[in-house]
Chain A
């Protein structure tokens, strides 16, 4: 770090590698073997429901939590044997953890003072860091008088002032109101880009993850379910869990009709037939007795990219609500149903439609949904290439 002190806040981008990380709290397995490669300069987000292990993973990297097994390597150096204060990682805490007895300036200078940096350099760096987050005018205030957004920015400036190898952020925006959260998102992204600092970000907000990240790892029960860029994660979820956690998804039971090349045609099964097929995963909607709404329909077939499927195999189809649209009655391969609820969301309108294949959520442009009423009969068509097929777990 001494070598870097002369370089102002210029940072060298380094990568982070995690191998076989395990951590158990009593009977709860928080990390069940995690492998991760974060590229230099990357904005990498861990996303998942509460209790999935994402914060534990971050705290293992920071050094506040000792893994039971595995290694953490940063910049060619093993981090795990180092005490937290020797790791030189900047961390932004969920509740900011600003020192309430120190002014904003003293807060930002804290890490540099701990490194016994020359006074001149400390003053320069602090000015620089505060200017970066537009808080120079607040330098002599105590944290208690700052707004939530300002506190968040002080926390970021404080973490960056030590010229850390990595920036770790633990749900840094979760204490802000919705509008400010979106603004701060952009600010964090801009700053991360301009500094080029490798960032490990933790959030439970999938929208935040999609908006910010270069790459996302979706975590569930101590494992990484899928690691990919936001678009891939959203479009091609690797598991039903990812499909249900990132965005809204309809899960429908189906059977593979035919396969050709990398494609499969799957035939949706009416709810009345699929008692046996149901229960493949928790995200699937509960079966409905659709007899009163619509008669059983045959022959709704969807084409999807899929490998390793054989005709006759029972599968689950995941459909995004915005990939469904209304079609004229009688069109082939459409589902007829009755509108159960209509929810106006501003730009879009969300419909819940009871069909023979189950209750389906769809999202339309508000214009397209105009004039629809609860109880009306509608016909749903699926966009081509919009479905993801998951093989049902057997046994």
Chain B
């Protein structure tokens, strides 16, 4: 091998890597570019083209003006923005005080709280929505209980009709309220996790210095803590907003007539009257525009305010008045408990004997028997597709992560930018873009199982790459140089040193990919075909056909498939940590 190649491989940041023909990484870079251009840029451009073209092969904005002038379309946009804003606001209002309570006010059992708070994030939102129907829906447990107390939630519910009640006393769970309730309790951990990480990274000396310089606690809070926390709060809020407007499952299950953009797109596509793919493409572009604008605004803001903090001393817990601590404890456990209600309800009711939407207290494995009998293929599909997508993501993540960190150049910057795109693309939009781009030759993928795997990989790849890159940033280049100076070839070094050191990051990225992919519904529901229905599709079908019992059993199985790997991963990590000490 010519010297050029290896010299290039291990040049430091100071000496820009020079590419050479025999360098395998150069080939890898070209392949990754080709892959991402075909799988990310091309479908989105086709989507845009579909929304802009009118009959006769001309370009026009007429679809967009139709979208904005017709009430049916415009209201979906308004609903999306309203729900997005409300969920973001509420999640922030819950997440920020919760972070303060757990990191600063000495709420007992903070490790437990942190662990429990992650659970809502990984449990699929549509399961949350469905379980709120079980509780507060027309025939919900709480609805019926309140009816006995003469409080009517639904004038149309069975109990209310029986009683002859005409007016609803409290709000109706269907529509925007239900979506907001389900998603807020599902997504507030984003804010909580980011803000508590930021809070504990603020060096204790900073606040002490502020006090020492004569600032009152309130002034310190306003002038120091809040500005330092703002990027984290905004970061968390952004994630909440993006997930809310992109969510398909909850509005589909609990929204009923209240259409938001993803459900509008779905109904435009899968329409009994034949569908309107052009308007679906237009709505997709509108949704994509919303997420992109918000994402770019946030990037712009963060780029102007990022602080480098050398967190030497962790800020400890404060001395807080006992009353406040008690209040914080109640708030913390109340919120976390409430957000775990959906999973608990689903698990408990899955054992209730049921016929259709009617579930009676008791114990039975009938629901599980039904699921196992009727949907064994769906279970296999979910596990199989998640395995394949996870493995592909892990492999690509390592390769691209390595390129981005160790082989940085003008060329990799473009790769990095391309990988930002999926962050802004909701699953529904990606699915429509894929159908638009890959529903016609030369790349005919629609109606194959490949398109499902590819869509999962594209959506999760940015996370996998970022995970791998983050680990690599913590591995000193000197360690790889040491390997080479000891006589190991670059390839041997990559296999024997780089990859083993990246393993924890690769595995944790893999677990997160698995968790997200196995509960994916928004693109699956548009891209799957008969034989390749997944568990989440089955749950959705069971819920809309009022088979609550088997829906609960299927949801419980799905929750197991989500939580078990997380649990195993945590155990593995703990054992590994003990080994190292």
Contacts and interface: CB of A to CB of B under 8 A. Distances in A.
Contacts of A86: 487
Task: Report, as a range, how many residues of chain B touch the other chain.
Answer: 20 to 34
B3 A144 contact: no
Instruction: Pick from A87, A100, A162 the residue with the most CB of B within 10 Å.
Output: A100
A362 to B, nearest CB: 39
A63 interface: yes
Contacts of B481: 62, 64, 84, 91, 93, 97
B478 A94 contact: yes
Interface string B470-500: 0000001011011111111110110011001
Contacts of B93: none
A83 B479 contact: no
Interface string A360-375: 0000000000000000
Interface string B1-31: 1010111001110110010000000000000
Given A85-B490, A97-B478, A99-B497, A90 B485 contact: yes
Contacts of B486: 85, 90, 110-111, 114, 158-159, 162
Nearest to B482: A97
Contact of B488 (A25, A85, A101): A85
B476 A84 contact: no
Interface residues of A, number: 39
Contact of A145 (B1, B478, B581): B581
Interface string A39-64: 00000000000000000000100111
Nearest to B4: A66
A81 interface: yes
Contact of A95 (B14, B478, B492, B493): B478
A114 B6 contact: no
Helix, strand, loop or mixed for chain B's interface?
helix
A114 B495 CA distance: 12
A89 B481 CA distance: 12
Contacts of A83: 1, 3, 5-7, 484, 489-490
B572 to A, nearest CB: 15
Given A84-B485, A114-B488, A63 B478 contact: no
A145 B578 CA distance: 12
B580 interface: yes
B206 interface: no
Interface in B447-489: 476, 478-479, 481-489
Nearest to B5: A83
B270 interface: no
A355 to B, nearest CB: 43
A22 B484 CA distance: 23
B485 A91 contact: yes
A155 B482 CA distance: 9
A23 B493 CA distance: 26
Contacts of B581: 145
B485 A62 contact: yes
A36 interface: no
A293 B486 CA distance: 62
B3 A64 contact: no
Contact of B14 (A25, A98, A100, A145): A25
Given A63-B7, A100-B501, A142-B580, A85 B479 contact: no
A84 B10 contact: yes
Contact of B7 (A66, A98, A99, A115): A66
A142 to B, nearest CB: 6
A180 interface: no
A38 interface: no
Interface in A130-172: 142, 144-145, 155, 158-159, 162, 168
A300 interface: no
A330 to B, nearest CB: 55
8 contacts: A62-B485, A65-B12, A80-B3, A84-B485, A85-B485, A95-B478, A144-B580, A159-B486
Given A63-B10, A84-B481, A85-B485, 9 more contacts: A64-B485, A65-B15, A85-B6, A97-B481, A97-B482, A99-B482, A114-B488, A144-B580, A145-B580
- 8 nearest A-B residue pairs (beta carbon): A111-B486, A83-B6, A97-B482, A97-B478, A114-B488, A91-B485, A114-B487, A97-B479
Interface of B: 1, 3, 5-7, 10-12, 14-15, 18, 476, 478-479, 481-490, 492-493, 496-497, 500-501, 580-581
